[in-house]
Structure 1
Amino acid sequence: MQIIKDIEKEELFLINTVKKTLEIAKNKTTAIEVSIKKTIGISVNVRNNIVENVEFNSDGGLLITVYNKFSKGSVSSKDFSLSGITSMLNMAIDISKHSSSDFFSGLPDINLLCFRAINIDLFHPWEFNIEHAIQYATIAEKEAFKFDKRIVNSEGSFFNSNITINVFGNSLGMLEKYKSTCYSTYNCMIARDQKSMQRDFDYSISRKIENLEKSEILGQKTARRVLSRLGSRKMRTMKSPIIFSAEISHIFFSHLANAISGDNVYQKSTFLINDLKKRIFPEWLNIQENPHLKQGLASKPFDNEGVTTKIKHIIENGVLTTWLLNSYNGRKLNLDSTGNAGGIYNWLVSNNCTSFEELLKKMHQGVLVTELMGQGVDIVSGNYSRGAIGFWIENGKISYPVNEITISGNLRSMWNNIISISNDIDTRNNIQCGSILLSEMQVSGN
């Protein structure tokens, strides 16, 4: 494949650029880290059978960070020329001389660095084919229109294909790289009946193009989703059991990631500040982070500082076992980096081997939430309040769609109120989880 040859050539150029930068820096500074990220890809947007947009992107950035004793200077640029690199380096050094000294600033511990990046099967190239991309997006939209006459419009059907090359090096002798591919499709449709109009979407994402949802199936799934929204009703204010559907369950656990991030911990701006090694979930619940998951959408051999990523338990038998640390906030807490500079990786949430249908029966009556709105989550207090839409469940079955509701509570009690998690795991996010049943939340409606 020609594209593989082109990518290998580009990768070699980026590696040499990092080497060159580190070589130039030897006589200028003692501590430096250099990273390059280059993304190449295509994007196609089709709406109402008309190709609205076709883009080819080739975007890259070079980031240089120097440490002058305990002062830090960072500069980024898209200029990879020798003169550009020299200028960036001088600027970063100058910034560090004028920055305040911070004892906790500096390169990671050398013993934590990744000197041999493992292969986690992230790179599956496909020859960029505009006609194929257009065809995929067009068929998905056509299938949705064909599905039912009540589907009257489209907000767009998209196809994206990207290759990313990451190269990282520092003055401690590390120079590693990895590359990845990502393919995604998205389809959003509008349906109308005599009383209202509704919109909904579906999408697919994968490291391998052959693992994407078939365009016909994506269009049909989008059609079913938007049609299910027709006839939405408001509901009265009440306390009710809640199910967060698998497609949004990652959002529910993302608040945990935020609450245990090192920056919030050392600044004491999290309600979990005193909960390390304590139980905050039911005893049966476990969360494992696996950055080495083959073809994982959030897999990485090393973090943004070059620290080796490792498989670890975040929650074990309901107990919070670790903070999420980079080198800086790790030093602030007198702990080692956990390799989470840049975020979390593949969180695998345990479930009760229960089907979604069984989960509905277990709830019997309550609200199934399929979409969340707003940002009403306070990590300092744990208070939670968000707009939501979904479905009313009666006798363990979906009865009718609901909208214009607000669900509220406190994350601590919400986590403890988890009754069960079903096995309908959504693998499209960095947190992989099934649908979540909570015993009770406040639901505000009319």
Structure 2
Amino acid sequence: MKVTKAELQQQLEEVEQAVAEALSIAEQQGASAAECSISQSSGISVGTRMGEVETVEFNQDGALGISVYRDHQKGSASTTDLSSQAIAAAVKKACEIARHTSPDPYNGLADKELMAEDYPDLDLCHPGDQSADHAIEQALKCERHALQLDSRIVNSDGAQYGSHTGFKVYGNSHGFLGGYLQSRHNLSCVLIAEQDGKMQRDMSYSVARKTQDLASAEAIAEQAADETLSRLGARKIDTAKVPVIFRADIASSLFGHLISAISGGNLYRKSSFLLNALGETVLPEWLTITEKPHIKGGLASSPFDNEGLATHQRDIVTNGVLQTYLLTSYAARKLNRQPTGHAGGIHNWRLSHGDQSLAQLCRQMGTGLLVTELMGQGVNLVNGDYSRGAAGFWVENGEIQYPVEEITIAGNLKDMLRNMVAIGADVDKRHALHTGSVLLDELRIAGV
């Protein structure tokens, strides 16, 4: 079973008609402005555990959401039923809600001149085989291969395979109406190993727009096994201040805090450690972050944001200096700035980095901690204080010595971001933000 792009395009066009109908009804109801969107996804998810099929789920999600404005009063409603009667009822309900809400002078659509025009086809949709047989085969192949790799692998939290296709449509009363197709496929495996009566758990996964770009079931199984087995024999370590490497697969979390700190909602609420940081040095001088929304097939590519604003390539940080905040139209009005096309998130951040492998970064570090897992949410975005549970590997003389667990790492995000020593070439490409492993000069490690 494989849905075709032609079939998806027909569905998208039908939804575009529904969006146009909703906007027309909103105008007839006396709304001064309106916007309407739908993000629809359909596909299959399969889970296996210990070599047996545990779940098979077919799903189709997506509701049409309508927001109407009566001057600065806003009302919103949604419906999964796209019949004319249901759409009319949803619009009517949104208009009723708007009459009872308090006016907010910052409410409203983004400016008309900022809407996307002649936006590119970014090649984001590549339907895969969504039959139950194929999905089950992929998950079972991955997990069964993993379970026979080593006798110390004694249990499994399962393998998961998913294949989904869909589209996004957005329109507003400025006359903007746009949509694009998209797909996403994933395969993962979680294993449990035991040695000397103690167990460890770890995983591996792959995600892609095209099924042929997924890592093979065998490769994911073998990486999951390697990750899990490498954690056996984990020890506690003494409390110390040492250099720390965030391995590439978790290093993106560091920059996730940067994203939060420069996002409009936190800025206008004054709940960010980077208030008034525009034009200031927030990262090392050797580091530049560029956003590239129009990469063909990119996991976070988008021709326009959730408000219909055109997306553009731009430097977020140039030679360590913050160039822009991330602003929706609402946040931009609150801060007396222009929106930046980030309603809905970031678009393909690419970080400058060196040519060192992870092994070379470890040699550069000498003695310290390689972090491969983070736990807990001990981050204060207001002042940047950072404290999280961690696990990983102790490194001495540039070589990994043994796995460690039950430790806490602590510092301040302002210092952590400014005092990065290097970023490796081992870039993890499974996220909206591509980064290699990050070497920090020093953090506090709380152990035994």
Kindly report which structure 2 residues correspond to 1:158-197, keeping only aligned pairs within 5 A, or say none: 158-197=160-199
Per-residue CA distance 1:2-55 (angstroms, 9 max, x = gap): 533432332122111112112222212230001011111100111111111111
Contact 1:45 1:53 in 2 (8 A): yes
Task: Provide the C-alpha distance between the structure 1 equivalents of 2:280 and 2:25, rounded to a whole number of angstroms.
Answer: 49
Match of 1:140 among 139, 142, 147: 142
Kindly report which structure 2 residues correspond to 1:114-153, keeping only aligned pairs within 5 A, or say none: 114-153=116-155
Q: TM-score scaled to structure 2, two decimals?
A: 0.98
What does residue 268 of structure 1 align with?
Answer: 270
Match of 2:339 among 337, 340, 353: 337
What does residue 83 of structure 2 align with?
Answer: 81
What does residue 323 of structure 2 align with?
Answer: 321
Match of 1:384 among 380, 386, 406: 386
Task: Provide the C-alpha distance between the structure 1 equivalents of 2:176 and 2:131, rounded to a whole number of angstroms.
Answer: 36
Contact 1:117 1:178 in 2 (8 A): no
What does residue 27 of structure 1 align with?
Answer: 28
Contact 2:33 2:173 in 1 (8 A): yes
Contact 2:328 2:342 in 1 (8 A): yes
Per the TM alignment, residue 442 of structure 1 is displaced from its structure 2 partner at its CA by 0.2
Task: Provide the C-alpha distance between the structure 2 equivalents of 1:92 and 1:60, rounded to a whole number of angstroms.
Answer: 18
Aligned length: 446
Kindly report which structure 2 residues correspond to 1:35-50, keeping only aligned pairs within 5 A, or say none: 35-50=37-52
User: Unpaired segments of 5 or more residues in structure 2?
Assistant: none
Per-residue CA distance 1:408-443 (angstroms, 9 max, x = gap): 000111112210000000010111100000010000
Per-residue CA distance 1:173-203 (angstroms, 9 max, x = gap): 1010001000001100010011411110000
Which amino acid is the alignment partner of residue 74 of structure 2?
K
Which amino acid is the alignment partner of residue 15 of structure 1?
E
What does residue 297 of structure 1 align with?
Answer: 299
Match of 1:374 among 373, 376, 383: 376
What does residue 426 of structure 2 align with?
Answer: 424
Contact 1:246 1:424 in 2 (8 A): yes
Per the TM alignment, residue 127 of structure 1 is displaced from its structure 2 partner at its CA by 3.3
Task: Provide the C-alpha distance between the structure 1 equivalents of 2:39 and 2:6, rounded to a whole number of angstroms.
Answer: 18
What does residue 11 of structure 1 align with?
Answer: 12
Kindly report which structure 2 residues correspond to 1:252-267, keeping only aligned pairs within 5 A, or say none: 252-267=254-269
Task: Provide the C-alpha distance between the structure 2 equivalents of 1:360 and 1:197, rounded to a whole number of angstroms.
Answer: 26
What does residue 94 of structure 2 align with?
Answer: 92
**Deviating 4+ runs (over 4 angstroms):** none
Contact 1:242 1:441 in 2 (8 A): yes
Task: Provide the C-alpha distance between the structure 2 equivalents of 1:275 and 1:48, rounded to a whole number of angstroms.
Answer: 51
What does residue 346 of structure 1 align with?
Answer: 348
Per the TM alignment, residue 101 of structure 1 is displaced from its structure 2 partner at its CA by 1.0
Task: Provide the C-alpha distance between the structure 2 equivalents of 1:3 and 1:128, rounded to a whole number of angstroms.
Answer: 11
Query: Structure 1 residues 138-147 or 213-222, which shifts more?
Result: 138-147
> 1:62 aligned to 2:72?
no
Q: Using a 3 Å threshold, how does the CA distance of structure 1 residues 232 and 399 change in structure 2: closer, same or farther?
A: same
Task: Provide the C-alpha distance between the structure 1 equivalents of 2:392 and 2:214, rounded to a whole number of angstroms.
Answer: 26
What does residue 397 of structure 1 align with?
Answer: 399
Task: Provide the C-alpha distance between the structure 1 equivalents of 2:16 and 2:433, rounded to a whole number of angstroms.
Answer: 31
Contact 1:115 1:176 in 2 (8 A): no
Task: Provide the C-alpha distance between the structure 2 equivalents of 1:295 and 1:231, rounded to a whole number of angstroms.
Answer: 41
Contact 2:201 2:228 in 1 (8 A): yes
What does residue 284 of structure 1 align with?
Answer: 286
Contact 2:3 2:127 in 1 (8 A): no
Contact 1:3 1:125 in 2 (8 A): yes
Q: Using a 3 Å threshold, how does the CA distance of structure 1 residues 153 and 285 change in structure 2: closer, same or farther?
A: same
User: What secondary structure sits across from 1:329 in the alignment?
Assistant: helix
Match of 1:217 among 207, 219, 223: 219
Contact 1:17 1:80 in 2 (8 A): yes
User: What secondary structure sits across from 1:401 in the alignment?
Assistant: strand
Task: Provide the C-alpha distance between the structure 1 equivalents of 2:202 and 2:129, rounded to a whole number of angstroms.
Answer: 31
Q: Using a 3 Å threshold, how does the CA distance of structure 1 residues 199 and 2 change in structure 2: closer, same or farther?
A: closer
Per the TM alignment, residue 350 of structure 1 is displaced from its structure 2 partner at its CA by 1.1
Per the TM alignment, residue 100 of structure 1 is displaced from its structure 2 partner at its CA by 1.0
What does residue 237 of structure 2 align with?
Answer: 235
Contact 2:366 2:397 in 1 (8 A): yes
Which amino acid is the alignment partner of residue 96 of structure 1?
A
Task: Provide the C-alpha distance between the structure 2 equivalents of 1:378 and 1:52, rounded to a whole number of angstroms.
Answer: 39
Task: Provide the C-alpha distance between the structure 2 equivalents of 1:153 and 1:318, rounded to a whole number of angstroms.
Answer: 46
Q: Using a 3 Å threshold, how does the CA distance of structure 1 residues 76 and 358 change in structure 2: closer, same or farther?
A: same
Per-residue CA distance 1:314-368 (angstroms, 9 max, x = gap): 1110001111000011011111110011121211111112221111100011000
Contact 1:115 1:175 in 2 (8 A): no
Task: Provide the C-alpha distance between the structure 1 equivalents of 2:22 and 2:117, rounded to a whole number of angstroms.
Answer: 18
User: What secondary structure sits across from 1:147 in the alignment?
Assistant: coil
Query: Structure 1 residues 263-272 or 2-11, which shifts more?
Result: 2-11
Match of 2:253 among 240, 251, 254: 251
User: Unpaired segments of 5 or more residues in structure 1?
Assistant: none
> 1:408 aligned to 2:410?
yes
Contact 1:303 1:342 in 2 (8 A): yes
Contact 2:26 2:68 in 1 (8 A): no
Per the TM alignment, residue 172 of structure 1 is displaced from its structure 2 partner at its CA by 0.5
Which amino acid is the alignment partner of residue 82 of structure 2?
F
What does residue 441 of structure 2 align with?
Answer: 439
Task: Provide the C-alpha distance between the structure 2 equivalents of 1:306 and 1:204, rounded to a whole number of angstroms.
Answer: 30
Kindly report which structure 2 residues correspond to 1:350-369, keeping only aligned pairs within 5 A, or say none: 350-369=352-371
User: What secondary structure sits across from 1:26 in the alignment?
Assistant: helix
Per the TM alignment, residue 84 of structure 1 is displaced from its structure 2 partner at its CA by 1.1
Match of 2:311 among 300, 309, 317: 309
Task: Provide the C-alpha distance between the structure 1 equivalents of 2:181 and 2:384, rounded to a whole number of angstroms.
Answer: 38
User: What secondary structure sits across from 1:203 in the alignment?
Assistant: strand
